[in-house]
């Protein structure tokens, strides 16, 4: 494990907001993904637009966008970020829907939390809209897949996240394998 300090803890062990004001603004991008597992019948209803609550994909997209914009209000030590663009996309498979959120900004801090929040809330929205027809829905594999910008350079996950918690697929900044990463 790399020798790094926790940035949101002061010398006395108290939570603090990190001072990003000395940093130079740069273009930041983050991409996160999640999966919403459901029965093939439920996925088919979503694809046909036949869920009683309405158009699941459209509502989930708007919910994800709204959530990304609200991230600093949900996470107490997360900076408010001026977001330049948010894209939420969906890939319907036989027994799951993959949600992908990309967030772009020019600023002094990254947008990983905004992308992860967008994915999470879009997934929760899918769950909420489909729960009346499928009580076995599972949300999983919420993970950061890519980030660019900032002093530490790009990050890219190379493999699927394992539901079992297997962290052998985690890749650190600069693309080096880091099995013990947190």
User: What span, in angstroms and rounded, lies between the C-alpha atoms of 23 and 8?
Assistant: 16
Q: Is 80 exposed, middle or buried (0-12, 13-18, 19+ CB in 10 A)?
A: exposed
Q: Is 42 exposed, middle or buried (0-12, 13-18, 19+ CB in 10 A)?
A: buried
Q: Is the dihedral of CA 54, 74, 114, 163 positive or negative?
A: negative
Residue 10 designated active-site: no
- Per annotation, catalytic residue among 128, 134, 160, 166: 128
User: What span, in angstroms and rounded, lies between the C-alpha atoms of 115 and 93?
Assistant: 22
Tell me if residue 72 falls in helix, strand or coil: helix
- Of 151, 167, 171, nearest to 25 (Cα)? 151
Are 110 and 151 contacting, i.e. CB atoms less than 8 angstroms apart? no
**Active-site residue numbers?**
128
């Amino acid at each position: 494990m790399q020798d790094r300090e926790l940035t949101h803890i002061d010398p006395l062990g108290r939570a603090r907001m990190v001072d990003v004001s000395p940093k130079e603004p740069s273009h930041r991008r983050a991409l996160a993904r999640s999966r919403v597992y459901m029965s093939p019948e439920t996925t088919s209803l979503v694809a046909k637009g036949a869920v009683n609550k309405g158009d699941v994909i459209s509502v989930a997209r708007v919910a994800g966008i709204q959530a990304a914009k609200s991230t600093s209000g949900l996470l107490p030590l997360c900076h408010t970020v001026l977001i330049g663009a948010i894209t939420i996309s969906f890939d319907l498979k036989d027994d799951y829907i993959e949600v992908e959120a990309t967030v772009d900004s020019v600023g002094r801090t990254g947008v990983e939390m905004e992308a992860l929040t967008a994915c999470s809330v879009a997934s929760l929205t899918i769950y909420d809209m489909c729960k009346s027809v499928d009580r076995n829905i599972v949300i999983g594999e919420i993970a950061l897949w890519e980030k660019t910008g900032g002093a530490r350079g790009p990050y890219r996950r190379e493999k699927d996240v394992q539901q079992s918690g297997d962290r052998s697929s985690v890749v650190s900044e600069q693309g080096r394998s880091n099995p013990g990463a947190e």
